[in-house]
Amino acid sequence: MKNLPQSIIRKKRDGFELSGDELRDFASGVADGSVSEAQIAAFSMAVYFQDVSPRERVDWTLAVRDSGKVLSWADHGIGLDRGAPVIDKHSTGGVGDSVSLMLGPMLAACGAHIPMIAGRGLAHTGGTIDKLESIPGYTTGLPPADFQRVVREVGIAIVRQTDTLAPADRRMYAVRDVTATVENRGLITASIVAKKLVAGLDALVLDVKAGNGAVMQDRDDALALARMMVDVGNGAGMPTIARITDMSEPLAFTAGNALEVQESIEYLTGGPQHPRLRTVIEALGTDLLLQVGLFKTRKAALAALRSSISSGAAAERFERMVHAMGGPSDLLNRPLVHLAPAPVVMPVYADRVAVVSGMDVRALGWSVVTLGGGRTSPDAPINPAVGLSALVQVGAEVGPQAGADAGPSSTVQPLAFVHASNQQSAEQAAAAVRAAYRFADPSTQTPSAPVLIDVVH
């Protein structure tokens, strides 16, 4: 007989260790709907306060994995033993963290296969699935057979958790997003590693963010999370490494769903590449290509990744994936036709002439949620068009808007542009953005924090 959800929640609430059976029963109840949203929230909060032991962490991860189907590539003619490795990366979440949208197609162009099971936005961080769903027609909930077909034919497909793929994580994730229960290392480990085990990977590289815009703000917490995920991944037979990367600045010029897709298209088609974003993409990409032996040296792997952009091969993979998933066939040529713009676009200026010395990245992320780019209840619709663009980096010279009589030499860079559904929410977001930035006097040296912090094997 199954353990009752309320007994499992009570036991965890009171600080006791749950057995493998109890964790499996809870995960299967989450997956089949017999555990309610309220019970998921109570369980997540109990785990948040009482935490899980290393043994519970492994059992919970495997229970989430086994809540649905686990993919195998043996019948699809791909896999490490056939020279066509099946690999992936996953981030713990950040602001302007659109790495997957570019790195996935780049890796596919380098000969790998990427079955990426990703998530929607989580707390103040953006989600790959929300970004892709801003493309009209793109279907993130494909049945496994179609998902595997697209991976085989195109080299990459990005889908979400479904009733078949990691169903327990699908519901847990949506509830954690809106109940302030994201920041528990055991829950994060299970959520991420289970999805990757479901995908049947030959190798995984994790991007564990550290800093104010990350789920783990503290560097030691990020390292501990990386250690846990690497150990659980390796222990389950999936070669896993992790990088700790900095999230004390947004990782890209934009934060917001359609805006990040647009920036990714520009990146893939020879447009501007945010330097911090490029550093992370190239580090994670070379790690993976070396890990599965597609290249022998970091230099050769890096050259292949760069040539996937200059040759147009990565852009072509991205476009083919979008079309295969139900989206338009000409997204790259006509992005602005397909990605609807927000009705109000407003520059935000600093109050004085200064250099940017830092920013509250978490507040920037929450401002995107408040604009309608994230959720306040599970499965609520979001507005894909809203967000922030042209976000300045640490060290940028900024100032107030130049007056009408200012000469051409007085062009002043705004802090960002707010993209909103109406004037009122644009003004609220503009105030939040202005308050999120910290400034120093113009002559002050304000170096950016290095983006690559550490590696965990």
Catalytic site positions: 88-91, 128, 176, 191, 195-196
354-359/397-398 β-pairing: antiparallel
CB of 322 to ligand URA, least distance (A): 22
Furthest CA-CA distance within the chain: 79
188, containing H or E segment: helix 185-198
**Residue 280 near residue 208 (C-beta atoms within 8 A):** no
Q: What is the rounded distance in angstroms from the CA atom of residue 187 to the CA atom of residue 410? A: 51
Paired strand residues for 242: 206, 456
Could you tell me the smallest distance in angstroms from the CB atom of residue 357 to ligand URA? Answer: 29
Question: In degrees rounded to 5, what are phi and psi of residue 317?
Answer: -60, -40
CA distance linking residue 240 with residue 122, whole number of Å: 23
Nearer to ligand URA, 166 or 294 (CB): 166
Using the structure block, give the residue that is written with the tokens 């889908």: 159
Helix axes 99-109, 313-324, angle to 10 degrees: 110
Which residue's CB is nearer to ligand URA, number 46 or number 339? 46
Q: How far is the CB of 313 from ligand URA (least distance, A)?
A: 28
> How many other C-beta atoms lie within 10 A of the C-beta of residue 392?
21
Q: Hey, which residues does 210 pair with through a beta bridge?
A: 216, 246
Sort strands 87-91 and 203-210 into parallel, antiparallel or unpaired: parallel
Q: Is there a contact between 101 and 325 (Cβ–Cβ < 8 Å)?
A: no
> Encoding tokens for residue 77?
């003619």
Measured from the Cβ of residue 296, the count of other Cβ atoms closer than 10 Å reads: 10
Q: 255 or 354: whose CB is closer to ligand URA?
A: 255
Q: Which CB sits closer to ligand URA, 229 or 314?
A: 229
Q: How far is the CB of 104 from ligand URA (least distance, A)?
A: 15
Nearest distance from C-beta of residue 356 to ligand URA, angstroms? 28
Shortest CB 355 distance to ligand URA, Å: 33
Binding site for ligand URA (CB under 6 A): 92-93, 119, 122, 188, 191-192, 195
Of all residues in this chain, which one has the CB nearest to ligand URA in the complex?
191
**Alpha-helical segments (H) within 218-274:** 219-235, 257-268
Phi first, then psi: what are they for 336, rounded to 5°? -75, -20
Torsion angles phi and psi, residue 124, rounded to 5: -85, 0
CB of 37 vs ligand URA, minimal distance in Å: 17
Residue number with CB closer to ligand URA (191 or 212): 191
Q: Which is nearer to ligand URA, 52 or 188 (CB)?
A: 188
130 within 8 A of 301, measured Cβ to Cβ: no
Give whichever of 167 and 328 is closer to ligand URA, judged by the CB atom. Answer: 167
Residue 161 or 248 having the CB closest to ligand URA: 161
Smallest separation (angstroms) from ligand URA to the CB of 146 = 22
Q: Which two tokens stand for residue 291?
A: 């890990």
Q: How far apart are CA 179 and CA 309, in angstroms?
A: 40
Question: What interhelical angle do 313-324 and 144-154 show, nearest 10?
Answer: 160
What does the alpha-carbon distance between residue 354 and residue 396 come to, in Å, rounded to a whole number? 8
